[in-house]
Amino acid sequence: MGRAVVFLDRDGVLNDPVHDPYDGRPEAPLRAADVVLARGAIEGVRALNEAGIPLVVVSNQPGAAKGKVTSGELRGVHERVRSLLAAEGADIADWRYCFHHPDASDPQLRGACECRKPAPGMLLDAAADHDIDLSRSWIVGDTDSDVGAGRAAGVGTVLIGHPGSRHRRTDEWIADAQADDLQEAAAFLLLDGELRSPGHA
């Protein structure tokens, strides 16, 4: 039997979305200096760390594909999120990103892929690499695509209602549970120090 993990979206779960000058609405930070950790992120990660639950980030990051930023700037944002969490003793076991987009200006990143959520590719690849039992695992995200990816991969789903990602949520996908932030999500996921079974959400 593989191990149970909690998959996490990044923007809207670990850090706040910020105003995107290209789209005119809150989206992923485009520069490291814009990164602010989301409310409850540190506490939520720590709680799951203390319970011995591995955490795997799975995040769509099409900024470079759309020509908004360079791949180097995307790496800078990633490093800033990672370092802010690490400085508070909050550990993420693995980080996985999809850099593709169907309408990418970069032809190498354009078109359909298996990793862009709501496709489950990032979760399935992580499961294969880390011996993860998806039937015992969860995803915590803030958008319809997170819930869709979780359903497609066969994991439990928790939807965080971050106000900055409201435009990415509809009634199309209903999560197994809802929370205001990652701290509240972690409190739901942990029962007597153990990860709740998705079948008993």
Per-residue pLDDT tens, the chain, 201 aa: give them: 799 999 999 999 999 999 988 888 999 999 999 999 999 999 999 999 999 999 999 999 988 888 888 999 999 999 999 999 999 999 999 999 998 676 756 776 677 788 989 999 999 999 999 999 999 999 999 999 999 999 999 999 999 999 999 998 997 789 999 999 999 999 999 999 999 999 866
In degrees, to the nearest 5, what angle opens at C-alpha 16 toward C-alphas 162 and 73?
145
> Rounded to two decimals, what is the model's pTM?
0.94
Pairing of strands 94-98, 55-60: parallel
The count of other CB atoms within 10 Å of the CB of residue 172 is 9
Residue 106 falls in the annotated catalytic set: no
- Is 91 a residue of the active site? no
Give which of 134, 137, 132, 100 is closest to 117, Cα–Cα.
Answer: 100
State the angle between helix axes of 41-50 and 71-87 in degrees (0 to 180), rounded to the nearest 10.
Answer: 70
* CA pair distance 65, 111, nearest whole angstrom: 10
